[in-house]
């Protein structure tokens, strides 16, 4: 059943006296959440945002065949819960062997053909023959995860996890979501996937990205997410991330959050704020579900 983001099952937050404040629904269990959301939206509206911190990525360390793979093949590997996948012979070259009964992952490689074309020299007007490679299709190549092999250990692999894990790990565990840290794939800072098992894959240690993907995971517990970059879903996750950063005393990512939200509303600030009010009930529900699982010191009622 498709969830109606705009109308929600509970009353939406509504602006009071314009778009500058939120009137909490009667079932709002924590006024501190309302206060923080008000503060964040006011920062977005006024542009009075804390200085932005520099973004980071997780760099590759050891040479691996997958380092030269396409972004799509790298993502496929990450979704299978591994940081290293190779073919039979490639594993034998490093004195490792595929376990009996292990299932292959199939990546795609291009079929190429060399053709001769006639090219007109724009300066001399002469016609010259050139050889070029074209892609005529793709074929599958079976590869196997490191975890599905035995043999000699590989050189010590870099630990991609941060020295100290970010807060709310118990929330991911409670909702059955695996958290994987992996080198930057050239495409995204992270993503949440719910096909073939629920996973958050992070290519950065930036806490805002962790909170954003966790927001998707919590949102998915009561709302059927759609594939792709769906504006309402992305704005829910990003406002959740901004709120979690604020509640944990982290103030260097609000500019990124505001720019990210605006990018889904044609970079129109007024439209961005209006959309925020339309999805606030879902953000509230995400926060309440986190509060039910984990303690957030800033939300404790003294």
Q: What 3 state SS string does the chain have? A: CCCCCCCCCCCCCEECCCCCCEECCCCCCCHHHHHHHHHHHHHHHHCCCCCCCCCCCCCCCCCCHHHHCCHHHHHHHHHCCCCCEECHHHHHHCCEEECCCCCCEEEEEEEEEEEEEEEECCCCCCEEEEEEEEEEEEEEEEEEEHHHEEECCCCCCCCCCCCCCCCCHHHHHHCCCEEEECCCCCCCCEEEECCCCCEEEECCCCHHHHHHHHHHHHHCCCCCCCCCCCHHHHHHHHHHHHHHHHHCCCCCCHHHHHHHHHHCCCCCHHHHHHHHHHHHHHHHHHHHHHHHHCCCHHHCCC
pLDDT the model gives residue 2:
26
Cα first-last separation, the chain:
40
Are the C-beta atoms of residues 171 and 290 closer than 8 Å to each other? yes
Strands 127-145 and 105-120: antiparallel
The pLDDT profile of the chain, 302 residues, written as one tens digit per residue, is 222 222 233 333 333 333 344 443 434 446 778 888 888 999 998 988 888 888 887 877 677 898 888 888 988 898 888 889 999 999 999 999 999 999 999 999 999 999 998 888 888 888 888 888 888 999 999 999 999 999 999 877 677 889 899 999 999 999 999 999 988 877 889 999 998 899 999 999 999 999 999 999 999 999 999 998 999 999 999 999 999 999 999 989 999 999 999 999 999 999 999 999 999 999 999 999 999 999 887 776 55
pLDDT the model gives residue 118:
87
pLDDT the model gives residue 61:
67
pLDDT the model gives residue 102:
95
Which residue(s) pair with 94 in the sheet? none
Rg (CA), the chain: 24
Residue 44: helix, strand or coil by DSSP? helix
pLDDT the model gives residue 20:
40
pTM for the model: 0.65
Are the C-beta atoms of residues 64 and 100 closer than 8 Å to each other? no
How many angstroms separate the CA atoms of 210 and 206, rounded? Answer: 7
Phi first, then psi: what are they for 48, rounded to 5°? Answer: -85, 75
């Amino acid at each position: 059943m498709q969830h109606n983001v705009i109308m929600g099952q509970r009353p939406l937050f509504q602006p009071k006296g314009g778009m500058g404040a939120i009137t909490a629904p009667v079932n709002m269990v924590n006024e501190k959440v309302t206060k923080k959301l008000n503060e964040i939206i006011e920062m977005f509206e006024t542009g009075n945002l804390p200085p932005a911190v520099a973004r980071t990525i997780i760099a590759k360390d050891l040479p691996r065949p997958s380092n030269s793979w396409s972004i799509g093949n790298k993502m496929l590997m990450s979704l299978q819960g591994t940081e290293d996948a190779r073919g039979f012979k490639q594993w034998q070259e490093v004195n490792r062997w595929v376990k009996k009964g292990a299932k292959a992952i199939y990546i795609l490689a291009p079929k190429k053909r060399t053709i001769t074309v006639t090219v007109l020299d724009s300066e001399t007007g002469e016609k010259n023959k050139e050889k070029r490679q074209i892609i005529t299709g793709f074929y599958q190549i079976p590869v196997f995860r490191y975890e599905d092999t035995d043999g000699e250990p590989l050189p010590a692999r870099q630990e991609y996890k941060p020295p100290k894990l970010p807060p709310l790990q118990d929330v991911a565990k409670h909702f059955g979501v695996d958290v994987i840290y992996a080198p930057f794939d050239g495409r995204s800072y992270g993503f949440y996937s719910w096909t073939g098992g629920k996973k958050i894959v992070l290519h950065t240690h930036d806490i805002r990205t962790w909170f954003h993907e966790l927001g998707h995971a919590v949102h998915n517990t009561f709302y059927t997410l759609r594939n792709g970059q769906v504006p309402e879903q992305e704005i829910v996750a990003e406002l959740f991330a901004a709120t979690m950063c604020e509640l944990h005393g982290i103030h260097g990512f609000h500019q990124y959050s505001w720019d990210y939200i605006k990018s889904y509303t044609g970079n129109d600030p007024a439209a961005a704020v209006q959309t925020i009010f339309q999805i606030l009930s879902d953000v509230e529900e995400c926060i309440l579900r986190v509060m039910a699982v984990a303690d957030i010191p800033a939300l404790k009622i003294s």
